[in-house]
Amino acid sequence: MDLSELKGIISLMQKSDLTEIEIELQDLKLRLARPGKATNIQEAPAYREVVQSRVAEPAPPEPAAAQPAEDHAGDTFDSPMVGTFYRKPSPEDGPFVQVGDHVKKGDALCIIEAMKVMNEIQSDFAGEIIEVLVEDGSSVEYGQPLFKIRKG
């Protein structure tokens, strides 16, 4: 490739919308790039639409023989759906609830993102948060325990 051919390629790029070209010949590899036209790129919001979801109160546990004592320390609040668990309404805010907090029926406990929709999960009973069983940002399954809550 000689200088006139190279100038021709550069001229072609300037006259067209090409922003990058790569040419490979037997003993030559050439890559030309230039800044493209500015395009409007919108950044997706960190959190999207919040949909409120109420979870039915868990059925009373069936009597079982010789349950471990720790099971009586509190009731578990289970995930109503598959998704990603978030303790905070946004990255800048504090968590909805912490260990030791008292919650009322209808209080927001967390958000579970499912199919790009943020679902605010609310408590169906009053009680005290004993333990948070899931790490923030982790995947959860349907029925997976999220919190241990002492009713009352």
Q: pTM of the full predicted structure?
A: 0.52
What is the C-alpha separation between 149 and 98, in angstroms, rounded?
A: 11
According to the model, what pLDDT value does residue 61 have?
A: 62
Torsion, Cα 54 57 58 60, to 10 degrees, reads -170
**50-56+72-151: CATH class:** mainly beta
What are the residue boundaries of the structural domains of the chain, listed by start? Answer: 3-33, 50-56+72-151
SS3 9: helix
What is the C-alpha separation between 152 and 140, in angstroms, rounded?
A: 26
Q: What is the pLDDT of residues 65-108, one digit of tens each?
A: 444 444 446 789 999 999 999 999 988 999 999 999 999 999 99
SS3 7: helix
Report the relative pairing of strands 50-54 and 117-122 from DSSP bridges.
parallel
Q: Mean pLDDT across the chain, nearest whole number?
A: 80
